[in-house]
Amino acid sequence: MKIHFDRVKFEQSTVSLMIAYYCRKHHHTDGLCEECKGLKGYASSRIKNCVLLPGKPVCASCHIHCYKPSMREAIRNIMRYSGPRMMLRHPFRGMVYVLIKRKVVNTA
């Protein structure tokens, strides 16, 4: 039995959760502030239009830097803060991320 796994949707929703958590803790909002909304849309489009699909690595391990420098720095800060907390808040997503990262690194 093969399980269907949509990497694009999974990564988009994971990044969305990370941005929302960061915004809630740093910008003290109930929803997303305008800056975080823009970053979420930008990150979502970058993931969807990745040239390395379907076997893309996790963005942290990618050799192609498709984010603009300012957006790249912003998403790095968010991932640095939210990433470690994902294992507590969303353990399944955290484990899938680790497995994807490991698979891509081991097959490269």
Which helix (H) or strand (E) segment holds residue 49: the answer is none
**Model pTM?**
0.85
Residues 6+ apart with CB under 8 A from 83: 18
**pLDDT for residue 56:** 80
Q: Is residue 70 part of a domain?
A: yes
Residues 6+ apart with CB under 8 A from 73: none
Q: Is residue 95 part of a domain?
A: yes
**pLDDT for residue 4:** 52
Number of domains in the chain: 1
What are the CA-CA distances from residue 108 to residues 39, 55, 62, 63 (Å)?
30, 11, 11, 12
**pLDDT for residue 105:** 45
pLDDT digits (tens, 9 = 90+) for 3-39: 556 888 988 999 999 999 999 999 998 889 999 999 9
Q: Is residue 1 part of a domain?
A: no
Q: How far apart are CA 16 and CA 39, in angstroms?
A: 9
Q: Is residue 67 part of a domain?
A: yes
Mean pLDDT of 71-89: 92
Percent of residues, the chain, with pLDDT higher than 70 = 90
Domain hosting 14: range is 7-107
